Structure formats: C-alpha cells, structure tokens
Structure 1
Amino acid sequence: MHAEQMLLILCGGVSDMTLRPVFLLRASSVSALLASTVISAGSLHAAPAKAGKTAHPVQSQPHHKAPRIQQDPEEIRVSAERPLAGGLMKRQHAPEATNSISALAIQQRGAASSPLQIAASLPGVNFGSSDAYGLSVRNNISVRGLDSTEMGWTIEGAPGVDQAYYWPYTETWADNENISDITLIAGTSRINDPVQTASGGEMIESVRDPSHKRGGLVDYSYGSFRGQRIFGRLESGDIGQTGIRVMASYSRTASDNFTGPGRNTRDHADFKLVKEWADRAKTSLFISYSNWNNARLAPFTLAAWEKANKAGDNFSAGTYAGTYIPGQTTNYWKAYVYTRRNVLMSWQNEVSLSDTLRLHVVPYFHWSLVDSPGQTTINSNAFYWGDQKVNPGLSTTSTPAMIHSNQAEYATGVNAYVQYDPTRHNHLIAGYWYDHWNIEQSGGLTPLSANGGSPNATGRYVLRSPLGAIYAGTHFQESSQTNEFYVSDTQGFFGDRVKATFGLKTMLYYLSGTNEIPGGPYHFSSAFTQPMPRFALSWQVNHALQVYLNATTNTRAPVPISTFPTTYSVSTGKVTQAGNPGAKPEYAIGEEIGLRYYGAFHFDMALFNMNLTNHQLVALTYLNGAPVQQAISAGGETIRGVTAEIASKPFHGFSPYANAQYLHTTIDNNLAVNGDLLPTKGKTMVASPKFMANIGVNYTHGPFFANLAFKWVDSQYSTFMNDQSMPAYKTVDLGLGYHLPRISVFTKPTIRLNLSNLSNVSYLSSIASIQTNARPVTGIYGTKIAASTPSYYLSAPFSAMVTVGSEF
C-alpha cells in the first residue's frame, strides 16, 4: 500500500511553530514506511506513537471531524523528513529521556534477534546475551544501572512482565516482522501505563495493525550453529464494509548452542484483529502464543573463564555434560532445559465521546507455564519435605534426580482512562488500573532413568506422599492485587510553546500466599500504599530546539517469588530462604534536564539524578540444584550521569548515528551480612558501567542497504565491595541487504545477511550472580566475612544468518 493512500488529512491541525505542512494521521504502520514518525504533544503522560495503526484509504471513508485531543496516545504527526540512521532515532517531544527504534530499523536486524537485542543499541542500555538468535534465557538488561526487574514493560497497552520474578521475557511477546516500534523511557514511565516495576524506566513495544490490503509475508533464515527460522503472515485486508481486518502469523526458530550440547527451539504465533468506526472508535485484539525450550549454558566464574579463554577449547570444559553415565554424571544437560509456554492477550478500545473527550479501555490476560529444572541427588536416608524427614520410597539410597521449579501463573486486569481537553491549551488524563495475579510454584523431584531421562520434563510426575502432597523443598501459592489511580494535567502557555504538567499516581498493593510444605508459617501477606507525584516543564524555544526538566517518583514492589515464601533444603531440612513479609517496596526519586535539537542534524541530551531507597537486585542462585532468581536488598543508592544521542540526515546514502552515556553510581549504605555490616558505603553499585557508547552508520542506495554498529561497554563491578569486576568489551555487527525486483506474486523480495560479533571477540556478556565480596573482609563490627565468587554468562561468538523473504 502506498504511503500517500494512507494519509487522512485533517484540516486545522498545523502548529504555528511548524515550518512545513504536517498531517495528523491515525496510523501506526506508517512508521514502517516513514521513519520520521514522532510522538505527539510532549507531556509527561503522552504515550508514544503506536506504529501499527493504519488509516483507511481516504476514498473509502466518509469524512468525520477528528477530536482535538492533543494528548491522544494514538495520534501521530508525520513530516516529510527522511528517516534518520535507518530509524534508530525518532523525533521526540515528551519532557523526559525517550528513545525509539522504528520498524524500518527492526526489519534490517537479524530476523531471529530478540527485542532486547534490538534495543541494545538505544542510549544507556547495557545488554548481554549468550545467544545470537533470541533463544537463550541467559541474558540481562539494565538501564542507568537498574536491571530489568526495575523497569516497566508494556506490550500493546498491557503489562508484559512475568510477575513472579519481574522478568519481561520479551521473546514471547511478538515476532520481529510484526513489531512496529520499540520505545525506551529511561528513569521513569508514562503515568497512564499499567506498570508496577518502573522505578528504573519503561520499555514499550507496539505491534503493527493488519494491512488494508489482502496479502502477507514469508521469509526463511539460515545461519551459524544450524540456526534456522521460518516465518509466515497472512492478512485479510479490509473485510467488505465491516471495518474489520485481521492478520495472523507463525514462526519457528531453532539453533544449537555455540558450545556444549543442546538445541534450542521457539514456536510462536501472533494474531491481531482491528475494527474501526471511522474516526470515532477503534478496537483491536492482540493474542500471542509461545512455546520456548532453551538448553541453558552453565555460568562461568572469572577464573574459569580466563582459563578457558586461554585454552581455546570453545569453553567446552565448563559446559553441561553431553552424555549421561549413571552414578557419575552430576550435570547432565537434559536436566537443565528451560521450558516456557506463554499466552498474552490485549484488547484495546478507544472511543471518542466528543471532540474533547476520549475513553481508553484495555482489558488483558497473561498465562504462563514454566519449568526451570536442574540436577540433584535424592538420599533416602536424608531426604526432607520442608523441615520433616521422609522416606521417598525409592529402591536405592542415593538416586540421581531432576529437581523442578514449576510455575503455573496467570494475570488478568484492565486499564481504563479518559483524556479530556477542557480548553484548547489544557489537557487532562485520569484513569484506574486493576491487576490480579496468581501463581502456584513447586520444586518437586523426578528420578532420572539409566540414560538420564526424566518421566516428565515439566514435573507432572513428581514424587508425592501417600496423601498426594508433593515432596519438595519449595511449594507455595501466591496472589496479588494491584490498584493504581492516576491523574495528570498539562497546561500550555504562550501558544503552547511552554507546557507544565502535574501528575499523581497512587499504587495500592496487596499480596497474600500460603506455604504448602511443613515448617514455616502457613499464611503470609504484605501490603503497602505508595503515592507517586511528578512534574514536568518543557519549552519549545523554536521549531528546532526544545528544553525540558522533570521530577518524577516511581516504585517497585518486592519480587514476590524470592521475597515472601519460605523454602527449605531437601537434603538437610534447613531454611534456604526465610519469607520476609515486611519487605518494603523500592522507591525512586529522579530529576532530569534535557535538550533536543532537530535541525541540520538531530541531537538529544539528558542529565539525570536519581535516589533509590530499599534498592533491590535480582541474581542467579541455585535452590536444591535448580537455577532460580534470588532477590538481594542493597539499601540506598545515588545515580547520576548524562546520556547523549546524535544522528544526521542521509548524505549520499550515509546516515551516521551515535550515542553515549556516562554513569556515576554510589552505594549509600553499609550492607548487612551475617549480623555485621560490610563497609560498602561510597562504593560503586554493581552492574553499572561508567561509560557506554554505540556508533553506527546506515547506508541506502537504490535497492541496496547496509548498517554497521559498534558497541563499547566499560567494566562493571560484580561485588558490592568492588573487589571483582566483569571486563570491558567491544563488539561490531554488520548487516547487508538488497531489494530484488518483483517476482510473480512476490511483490517485494529481499535478501539480507546479518553478521553478529564480526570480530569474534570472546567476552563475558553479563553478571549472573552478584556477590557481596570476592575476598575475605572484616565487617565493621569485627566479623570475618568469607569470600564468595561471582559468576557470569558467556557471550555469543561470531554468527551469520541469511534471510530471504518477500511480501505477496
């Protein structure tokens, strides 16, 4: 469909500060064609453009006067500018550090790349992965030193986070071909989004709307490590005069681990239905399903990594065992395969009640079934169910077994808000979000067979008592209810050149649960109420220059699965995690001063300051042999720094792009360890590299396109005492592509080659387990605090993937 066919021109929408005609448009898929999409009406609560919305062709729709709501999250302004750096930098207006990647840039990346791998090029994003194809759970992301559990995550207006660990698992949301926009708001979140973890920022993903034209897309990819991917999408086009259009897609991705045994697979399906009533109402239903199996890689200590790196054996000495020998093998790879099934549904509804009043209602549903297993040994003479010693009824006294971490969970909720323009220069948002979440988690055991197999890889046939109770060291049920009320008002002055926004969000959080094993308290609960005020001021100096400042507050509830339940060792019956219902939520107060210039080149810079209390980190640990996430309380922290982004308009086909961040973090408290205090006050926070930079260039000439990206990440501490760090690293990625002429029904055939880690650098990608101190330390009160060893995830080596595909 041609871009000019998609424009719905609405008279009277041109700002007095605009130097060229600007069209108001209800279309989010336009950003895939015109990467100059910009977020409308900068205010603290304005939502970024949804790049998947497409207007009906002008000739097929009767004319209706569009509402004059300038804060409309669905409204996009499109100018005649050409895309900057292949869609890596969009023009922004919101008075907060906001960065986006358009569909154009996403389409040029590797077809199998995960959304987090794509977002790694955004300013201030610290990301590492053990896999080039988005199939590994061995990846971590942080922004301004705050990890993924301290960020809000939304997909199509619904929360995307797994509320057990606050981990996003964005790989299960949508396929790359269906993603129209990825937006990062660093340090805060939009006030009208359903997030409960956004003390460190928010990542927003939008899915393209179905096309008005019937057709589809197919592509096939093949690459290193027997990497393969197929993708197909069908589009109904406009179905008669109903205003309905539908798209559905399926993909399968698979690859071997780059070292050690195991093959990883991911089956994924997306479905989206859109119904429009001219300009007055729109509803869209998005459903996705994923079935993900990951043969995980073992983490490495720094010493083991250095030794393996010198040996040059592709780290094979530190991987899980590829064959099983009864009585000898204690780390068989099949006992560590992570499985995840995931369903996500979002039903977005937007109704214009009048020219000045609009209603948004988004019900959603999220379901997942997870198993994160490991290998252990059952000793019939010393086997515990909670704190009670039992006889599991095995024929041998020592039996190898798979220990599970099964999680069955679901979340339902609705987010509803109104947007109201009482005057031409005043814009109000008021809304309410409700969420109910429930989980049942158990750590049951299944004995391994003579060949290392398990009766059931999802833990269905675990050992049970005569009355049917699961023999385990951990078994609990939790449910939470989140209520959030929010209101925000933006007032414009001097012809809207100056805008001031005042907002308030209040979270009411309640969690309750039961321990289903003998020992600890049967019932536990936690509750808090947290108001979160915010303020922003922006000044549009002229068409090219904007200055803004803001002061925001955000909170994050304690991680449910690793904070409140009580768990036990199955071999000793001792407590491995004492439930802490008194844990307080993390609270963040942040300030920013920013400047944006959009002229001969585009430049965006933000200076930021943030103070955290009850700072909580998440790190890898092993619970009875199963790898799970552990919550760490780190007290207070101060974060300061500056982020800058720059890009030029295309010059002879070349579009250079660069961003950088300087980060200074300080631990504000001494850390409590073993009844003493570790002298950590004034130390640098873990996983917080002082410097990061991305430099890239896009090239487009006729049917040919290419992109080159360089990333540098400084060293980062892995202990609170700053006595061990993960080394700095540099990587280079390259992409090449060519648009072929039409071939029969294939209207836009394309071939592209994506090369990751072009120089094949061996490096550690991220910190797996954070520790207090890597060397023995004497506490402030004289206690000898023993050393503990951090571990790290391996990086993905050089990989290449070729993709051939076309629209039809």
Structure 2
Amino acid sequence: MKFLVAASTIAIGSVAMAGAAHAQSTGSVDVEEAIVVTGARGEAAVNGFKSPETPKAKAVITQELVARQNPGKAIFDTINIVPGVNFTSTDPYGAAGGNLRIRGFDGARISATFDGVQVNDSGNYSLYTNQQLDSELIEQVNINFGATDVDSPTASAAGGTVNYRTRLPKEELGAALNYSHGTFNYNRVFGVIDTGVFTKFGTRAFFSASDTKYDQFRGPGGIHKQQYNVRVYQPIGENGDFVSLAGHYNENRNNFYRRVGLNDMRTLLGAATIPAAASITPASPLDLGKLTEAQQDTIFNFNNDATCTLPSTAGGPGRQSDTSSCASYYNTSINPSNTGNIRFNSRFTLSEKLIATLDASYQYVLANGGGTSVFAEADANKGVSGVYNRQGNRIGAGVASGVDINGDGDTADLVRLYFPSNTRTHRLGATFSLRYEMSPENTIRLAYTWDRAKHRQTGEASRLDAFGNPVNVFGGIDDADAVKDAAGNVIQKRDRLSYAILHQVAGEYIGKYFDDTLTIQAGVRAPFFRRNLTNNCWTIAGSSNDAYCTSQSAAAVEAQFPAYAAPYAARKVAYSAVLPNAGFVYKFAPQMSVFGNFSQGFSAPRTDNLYGFDGVKIQPTTLVKPERTNSFDLGARYTSRVVQAQASAWYIGYKNRIISSQVLLEDGSSLNLDRNVGRVRSYGFDASVAVRPVDMLSLYTFASYTNAKLKDDVVSPAGAVLSPTKGKFVAETPKWQVGGRAQFDLEPVSVGAQVKYVGDRFLTDINDVIAPSYTTVDLDARINLGKVNNKGGVYLQLNVINLFDKFYIGNLSTQAAASNNPQVEFGSPRTVIGSIHFEF
C-alpha cells in the first residue's frame, strides 16, 4: 500500500498524486487513495466524469470537461450537470455570481473549499461563486452529497461539500493564451506561463492573469473581473515530500441585475394577473409559469435606470430634494470586491510509517453590495417622506441642528448619499496533521485545525457625483471620501467587529478486510467554534443589518430611543459538536462495488443573526441553536475505463433549521431575526452513467429526485402559529432534475451538447408561489489546428449557451410567503462565445 499523506484542512497547495485525488485536503486525498484498492481501475475518467470508490456518495469532474465549457465559466456552474446539484447562474458568463443548491441545501449550508481553503464567508457563510479560480487552472472539482469529509474545516456544512483544486506547475517550460469574444460584448483574455523545472532542486512554478469585461444581458451596466495567480512547487527527495506556496487575487466590479418582485409584477401586469397577496395561498398558489410571452417580455424588460441627475448637486437657496431621483440608478446597485489568499502546504516523511504535514493560509476580503439613502441635512426634517427612516438625530450629533452636506450654504436639503455595507475580513488558518500506517491493512489519521477570521463590518456614507455615481465604490471607508456629522465623525449604518474562531480536532481509521474486498472508514470531527462580537452602535429591535450609529451621548440616545440597546464589546457565543461518520465500500466483482455512509453535519448561527439582539436589553426568549443533520447514503458503483456509473438512495434528517421570522420578546414587543423552526426530512436518489462505447463517442446521463419537507410550523414562544410551514416543500428545491451530455470526437473536430431539465421550485416557505420548470441546452464545438513545437497546440472553440433561447426564471430570492414580496432573476438568453487557444 502506498504511503499516505497527512491531513490538511484550512489551506493546502493541492498535491497532484497518481492515486485518487478526489477530496478537499491532502489528508483526505490520501485516505481515498487507500480506499481505492486498485487505483488504476477506477481512475480513468469518461470525458471528465468520475465516480470515485469511496464510502460517500461523490462525483468528480476533471479539467477535461471544465475546458469544454465557455472559458472563464464559474466552476459552480460547471457542476450543474451533476445529479442532486442545481446552480442558477446570474448571467451566462458567471462573473455576476449565482445560487447553489445540493439536495435542498443552499450554498451557505454547503462547505466550499479552494485547495482546502474555506471560501464560504466567515460571517454569514455565503458563497460568492464569481470570485473563484480561473477555470483553466482547475485540475478537478469534487462534490460530497450531504456529507463532509472528516477533516472539513467548517462550522457551516450541514449539507455537503464542494472542493476544487489547482493544478501543479508543469515540469517543462511553456505558456498558454486564450482569447474569447461573445454576445453582450464579452471579451476575456487569459494567459499562463509555466517556468518548468528551473533549479537543480526541481523547483517549478506558474504565473497567470486574466481580464474579463462584458455588458449585462438585461438592463444597463456591466461586469469587469481581473484575476492573478501564482504557484511555486518544490519537491523534496524521492518519496513525495514537498513544500508549495500559492497566491490568488481577484477583483470584481459588478453592477447588479434588477430583481423583479411580486409587487413589481403586479404593478406591471395588473392585479388580474398577479392577485393581491391575500388572494395567494398554498391552496391557490400563484404559478408564474402561466405568464404569456408578452407578459414575460414586460417583466424581463423591467430594469434599473440608465441615467440620473441629482438636484442636490446644483445647490442654491431653499430645499433641493433627491428623494425622487436616482433611487433605481444602475451604478449604485453594485458589488465591488477585492479578494485574495496565500496558501502554503508542506509534507515531510518522519519515518517509514509516519508522515506529517503543516499547512497554513491567509485570506483577505473587501466588498460591499452598494446602495443609497437620502439624508435630511437638518435633523428637524428627518421625518420627511423618502428620508432614511433611521436617521434620528445622527446628523446634528447633539451639537448642532444639522450639517450642510452639499455645501450650498443652508441645511434645508435632502441629499442622496452612497451608503453601502462594507465588509473587511482578515482570515488566518493552520493545520498540523499526522498519519500513521500501523500495517498495510490499518491506517489512522489525526488532525488539528485552527481558523481565525477578523470580520470588520462598517457602513460609511460618501457622496455621489452630479449624475449619481459613487465617488468611491467602497463609500467613505477612506476618511477623505466620507460624509461626516456635525461632531466631525463619519456617518455610518453599522460599526462592528467580529472574530470567528474555530478549533477542530479530527481522527479517522481506515481498515481493509477479506483480501481488500471490504474497506471500513470511521472517523469523528469535533469543531469548537466561537464568535466574539463588538457592536459600536446602538442595536435597533427588528434590525440586524442597520444600527443607530451616532456621536450623541448615551443619555441623549436613551432619552430619544428608549427601546434601543447600548453598544457592547466582546460579547461571546460558543458552539461545539462531536460529529461521527462511518462508511464502507465492498467490492463484490472486479469493477462493481456497493457503498454506504453515515455522517453528521453542523451549522452554527451566522454573525448577522447574532447582532439582531444585544444579549441584555433586546434578548429573544431562546437563543438560536446550531443546525444538525444526520445523513445516510446507500448505493452501488460500476467503474472502468469505459463506464463510470453510480446510483445511491439517501436520507437526511435535519433539526433546528434556522429561518428568519418574527418572534415575541419578553417585554411583549416583536423582533425579526433568525430562529430555529424545527425539523426537515428529506430523501431521494441520485444516479449517473458516463460511458464511452467507442473512442469517438462518449455519453453521460443523470437523474435525481429530492423530497424535502418541513415537519413543523413556525411558532411563537407562546405556541401561536406564525407561519404554516408544516408539510411544505423546501423552497428553491426542484423535486426532479434530469439531464445528460453527448460528445463526438473525430479529429480534428469534436462536438458536444448537454441538456438539463429542472422541475418546479417554490419561492416561499408556505409554497404559495411557484417558479415553473425549465429545460436548457448548451452546445460546444472545437477544431484543433495543430501543435506548436510538438506540444500544446492551437484550437478554436465555439460555445452556445441556452441554444434554443428559452425564457426561464433562474435565481430566486425566497421569502416566507407571497406577502413578503419574493423576487426573481431571469436566466440568460441565447449566448454565443468564440475562443482561440494557443499553447506552446
């Protein structure tokens, strides 16, 4: 049996090994290599699809398939062809983001890692799919359905994992360049240089850069993304030891697509088509699939404003009011982000049977979601219609009646300000890991993980120019761009500091029995997670995102707003769990096996949830408990160089599910915040078959069925039903998904096509609004033009997304009920991309 590498969790520079490289970390990769008894049998992908022989239900997609998609496509969109997975991309190119669902779990409940580095937000666990690694550098992506690896570095994975890994630098000097042009003025260029081995010690590296620009397919605005990557790899000796250092930087400047809510549809189409919310019930739901083509065009073309002018910038005597200007201007509906990470990994053989790894990472994030608010220059005008409803007396700050924000000599104006919610994150992680091979049949693995994220959330106001454009896309984060109150302090909507700290221990045993026909895997991970919370502003009941940030004295605020809770520092909340998992693989024929797995999952409450109260004055009756899952899989596989097939039945028991709802406080008032609503029971099956009957033809098909229902109503602490969710289907989750892919290869030409059907989805927890089913077809074709210097080569590639130009609803912004105005975004129309690729 091969020597196995030790565990790595928080950060790794992924190691490309000859065996089963399917997991998120070095340790998990190596454990899977131990499980696959005869690695060569199951390692051959069929046109980029693999069914790895592990106890967990998994799917793997390799660069072979990734490269057939349109260049730069989000990796989470690529896995949309895997059973159980539904990804709705915001646009055809992926740089605007999208929503992920696996077996009914949303992206915030799925652990996503990039070379072992956790990419879920440390505060709210959100998954920002547009900020991931350039597709050309991804060696493979693997998906755990409903279960985590034993060393998954997460406090949020109740519903499975998605792990993708960077390729190693090549051993020979070379370079590649790709240019793409497509519909909506899409232009993307990607380049990479591999140094080859450039020292006598075997050191090699690559450097890459990309730049992407295009217009939105709907409404004004555009997307601009640039990315830079580097990796240096140093092998040590002949037994697989190494050190690796990698860096990644990504910068996005995006305009949001305009969402269309039920209220907008009612205004646009009339009450006869979109009834009043009181008339929409679970017994008589609103089916958006019944809209006519003309009605679809009407809501599709409802967009943000392309231009605007702010009256306040003209100045002059009397009141200038911006309340009716620029509220829907496209260039304040933006999502700027700067993200980056540094990843270090090392492996050292301590003895013939003992291997250690030390891995570490640093991550940085600066981002916001745009937005504006109108402020009255005089606090006396704070109640005027259209003015920010939480202005209070923060402009005058208790030392003056107001501030002349636009500089026209009076304080009579109502001035629109850029008012985003900025987030800055500095995140450090490290893992030390040991793997010991007791005998060729018995292996143990131990790992310790530490992860510390400093999460700074502020909301500094800044000015807009005369045409509504932000002076700085990050608002007043730099003091020179900030708008200040009469006391000279920055006007803010929030000012808080959080630390998310994870300590985790994990252990695992792998045993092989009966001449390696039976493999047993058993492990446990124990996360100990803590949030340290500091709120420098006053907590407002019913608001976890906006607070009352003011220069006024505490006595003045108490007198004016007695319901607000005072600022606090270093409030601590802690969560822990012991999460066992166990599984088996039994090989009853050379190419056939059965597998089974049990795994527990855990998701701690999010940062924003915890700022909805202060723990003293504004206190819910019961604190939110972590979500817990019990996941079971039982299935069979057939793996060969011709066929990769897997089918599994699954069941997930889910308790303490957290949703946002209204609760009653001890003083009789109410507060909107996240709370536990009870149980979810889900079950289903996933199946996929990839086959290459002859060299020139490969076929792939999949199907998945999900039945996920809420078992309890949302009730108040007093027992009153707040939302009748019992028996309702989990929102945004399709019951059926079916699809496939066919590829024909006859050098120098190859053609591929893939199709996917997605069933109906509900927009609300009580199932009173339905997003209809849809089917999309994508096409790809490539012609090879020959090699350059007997390596690499040149090819032309054509991609067509949504070949038949079908109208469909993509992303859903779900709500409790129709009365809460759920919103939708639309899938992209037919999109054509042409690319030319040089490699030499």
- Give the TM-score range, shorter chain: 0.7 to 0.9
Q: CA RMSD in A?
A: 3.1
Q: Deviations over 1:340-363 (max 9, x none)?
A: 000111111112222322112210
Do the aligned residues in 2 keep the contact of 1:384 with 1:390 (CA within 8 Å)?
Answer: no
Residue 470 of structure 1: how far off its partner (Å): 3.3
Q: Are 2:466 and 1:478 equivalent residues in the alignment?
A: no
Q: 1:235 to 1:618 in 2, by over 3 A?
A: farther
Could you list the runs of 5+ residues in structure 1 that have no partner in the other structure?
1-11, 15-25, 32-36, 50-68, 568-574, 620-628, 775-786
Do the aligned residues in 2 keep the contact of 1:96 with 1:594 (CA within 8 Å)?
Answer: no
Q: Are 2:702 and 1:659 equivalent residues in the alignment?
A: yes
Question: Which residue of the partner structure matches residue 310 of structure 1?
Answer: 294
Q: Which of 61, 84, 88 is matched with 1:128 structurally?
A: 88
Residue 241 of structure 1: how far off its partner (Å): 1.1
Calculate the TM-score normalised by the size of structure 2.
0.81
Q: Deviations over 1:310-363 (max 9, x none)?
A: 256575642110010334332111111110000111111112222322112210
Residue 449 of structure 1: how far off its partner (Å): 3.0
CA distance in 2 between partners of 1:649 and 1:93 (Å): 19
How do 1:56-95 and structure 2 match up within 5 A? 77-78=39-40, 83-84=45-46, 86-87=47-48, 89-95=49-55
Q: Which of 675, 678, 682 is matched with 1:635 structurally?
A: 678
Question: Which residue of the partner structure matches residue 530 of structure 1?
Answer: 577
Q: 1:301 to 1:610 in 2, by over 3 A?
A: same
Residue 766 of structure 1: how far off its partner (Å): 2.2
Q: Deviations over 1:434-453 (max 9, x none)?
A: 00011111223224332112
Do the aligned residues in 2 keep the contact of 1:38 with 1:76 (CA within 8 Å)?
Answer: no
Do the aligned residues in 2 keep the contact of 1:564 with 1:579 (CA within 8 Å)?
Answer: no
SS of the counterpart of 1:318? coil
Do the aligned residues in 2 keep the contact of 1:476 with 1:565 (CA within 8 Å)?
Answer: no
Q: Deviations over 1:139-182 (max 9, x none)?
A: 10110000011011111122122212212324323111110001
Question: Which residue of the partner structure matches residue 499 of structure 1?
Answer: 519
CA distance in 2 between partners of 1:578 and 1:46 (Å): 43
Q: One-letter code of the match for 1:773?
A: A
Do the aligned residues in 2 keep the contact of 1:150 with 1:198 (CA within 8 Å)?
Answer: yes
Q: 1:170 to 1:788 in 2, by over 3 A?
A: closer
Do the aligned residues in 2 keep the contact of 1:256 with 1:264 (CA within 8 Å)?
Answer: yes
How do 1:315-326 and structure 2 match up within 5 A? 315=299, 317-326=301-310
Residue 745 of structure 1: how far off its partner (Å): 8.7
How do 1:133-148 and structure 2 match up within 5 A? 133-137=93-97, 139-148=98-107
Q: One-letter code of the match for 2:644?
A: H
SS of the counterpart of 1:337? coil
Do the aligned residues in 2 keep the contact of 1:45 with 1:192 (CA within 8 Å)?
Answer: no
CA distance in 2 between partners of 1:484 and 1:13 (Å): 27
Q: Are 2:702 and 1:670 equivalent residues in the alignment?
A: no
Calculate the TM-score normalised by the size of structure 1.
0.84
Q: Are 2:76 and 1:116 equivalent residues in the alignment?
A: yes
CA distance in 2 between partners of 1:557 and 1:743 (Å): 53
Q: Which of structures 1 and 2 has the larger relative contact order (alpha carbons within 8 angstroms, sep 6+)?
A: 2
SS of the counterpart of 1:120? helix
Question: Which residue of the partner structure matches residue 293 of structure 1?
Answer: 253
Question: Which residue of the partner structure matches residue 709 of structure 1?
Answer: 754
Q: One-letter code of the match for 1:191?
A: V
Question: Which residue of the partner structure matches residue 648 of structure 2?
Answer: 606
Question: Which residue of the partner structure matches residue 457 of structure 1?
Answer: 473
Q: Are 2:598 and 1:555 equivalent residues in the alignment?
A: no
Question: Which residue of the partner structure matches residue 788 of structure 1?
Answer: 820
Q: Are 2:446 and 1:433 equivalent residues in the alignment?
A: no
SS of the counterpart of 1:174? coil
Q: 1:72 to 1:471 in 2, by over 3 A?
A: farther
CA distance in 2 between partners of 1:477 and 1:222 (Å): 43
Q: 1:419 to 1:497 in 2, by over 3 A?
A: same
Q: Which of 118, 122, 134 is matched with 1:163 structurally?
A: 122
Q: Deviations over 1:614-636 (max 9, x none)?
A: 223589xxxxxxxxx99575432
Q: 1:294 to 1:578 in 2, by over 3 A?
A: farther
Q: One-letter code of the match for 2:653?
A: N
Could you list the runs of 5+ residues in structure 2 that have no partner in the other structure?
4-12, 270-287, 311-321, 383-387, 397-401, 406-410, 539-563, 662-671
Question: Which residue of the partner structure matches residue 407 of structure 1?
Answer: 423
SS of the counterpart of 1:272? strand
Q: One-letter code of the match for 2:455?
A: I
CA distance in 1 between partners of 2:35 and 2:188 (Å): 34
Q: 1:563 to 1:733 in 2, by over 3 A?
A: farther
Residue 78 of structure 1: how far off its partner (Å): 3.8
How do 1:530-609 and structure 2 match up within 5 A? 530-564=577-611, 582-598=623-639, 601-609=643-651
Residue 30 of structure 1: how far off its partner (Å): 8.5
SS of the counterpart of 2:475? coil
CA distance in 2 between partners of 1:418 and 1:689 (Å): 42
Residue 680 of structure 1: how far off its partner (Å): 1.5
Q: Deviations over 1:17-53 (max 9, x none)?
A: xxxxxxxxx996689xxxxx7458x99997348xxxx
Q: One-letter code of the match for 2:611?
A: F
Residue 560 of structure 1: how far off its partner (Å): 1.4
Q: One-letter code of the match for 1:670?
A: D
Percent identity, aligned pairs only?
Answer: 20
Q: Which of 726, 729, 733 is matched with 1:688 structurally?
A: 733
Do the aligned residues in 1 keep the contact of 2:394 with 2:485 (CA within 8 Å)?
Answer: no
Question: Which residue of the partner structure matches residue 217 of structure 1?
Answer: 176
SS of the counterpart of 1:237? coil
Q: Which of 336, 341, 344 is matched with 1:339 structurally?
A: 336
Q: 1:166 to 1:237 in 2, by over 3 A?
A: same
Do the aligned residues in 2 keep the contact of 1:301 with 1:790 (CA within 8 Å)?
Answer: yes
CA distance in 2 between partners of 1:589 and 1:508 (Å): 19
Question: Which residue of the partner structure matches residue 19 of structure 1?
Answer: none
Q: 1:580 to 1:333 in 2, by over 3 A?
A: farther
Q: 1:473 to 1:694 in 2, by over 3 A?
A: same
Choose 520-529 or 436-445, whichever is displaced more: 520-529
Q: One-letter code of the match for 1:553?
A: Q
Residue 92 of structure 1: how far off its partner (Å): 0.8
Q: Deviations over 1:341-389 (max 9, x none)?
A: 0011111111222232211221011101002111322234216778755
Q: Deviations over 1:710-768 (max 9, x none)?
A: 00110111111111121111100000001111356984101100110111111111212
CA distance in 2 between partners of 1:538 and 1:742 (Å): 43
CA distance in 2 between partners of 1:386 and 1:805 (Å): 55
